[in-house]
Structure 1
């Protein structure tokens, strides 16, 4: 099994769209069947070094993770919105 974690910083002018972005990210579970588990979190303790929103998703294999990354729902509405509202993204993928 593979875990995929993404941490994102919202642009200051886009912070009002955080909940809209969270809902869009949650919708991946119903649109991308390869996702086994999905958790989306919004930071509750802002600081200069903290991120604003996170994704934690699990996949059966690295191949499933790559298929998710290439999925039209991910490459379309998800990445389009991400590029519009974020100015920093960090990712880690590892076997569990």
Structure 2
């Protein structure tokens, strides 16, 4: 199983914008066959150096993750994220 963790820091870090972004991310649930699980959790301890959201996605294989990355539903979400994103970091691993 492939697990990808993506931490997002948004340009506008107000609660409304963070929650809207969480909703958009979770909107992929059930739309992409290869996406086994998705979580978008909000940081409960905000600070200057903290990230706002962690996106955790799970896939059966790296091939499935690559299919997810090019899926139209993901590309639509990525377009939205590109407009609100300040910076991101990720960790992808296999279990």
TM-score (normalizing by structure 1) = 0.91
Unaligned runs of 5+ in 2: none
Which residue in the other structure is 2:90 paired with? 91
TM-score (normalizing by structure 2) = 0.91
Unaligned runs of 5+ in 1: none
Paired residues, number: 94
Structure 1 runs, 4 residues or longer, greater than 4 Å off? none
State the SS of the aligned residue for 1:17: helix
Q: Give 1 or 2: higher helix fraction.
A: 1
How many angstroms apart in 2 are the aligned matches of 1:88 and 1:57?
A: 18
Root mean square deviation of aligned Cα: 1.2
For residues 35-74 of structure 1, the aligned pairs below 5 Å read: 35-74=35-74
State the SS of the aligned residue for 2:44: coil
Which residue in the other structure is 1:32 paired with? 32
What is the CA distance between 1:46 and its match in structure 2?
0.6
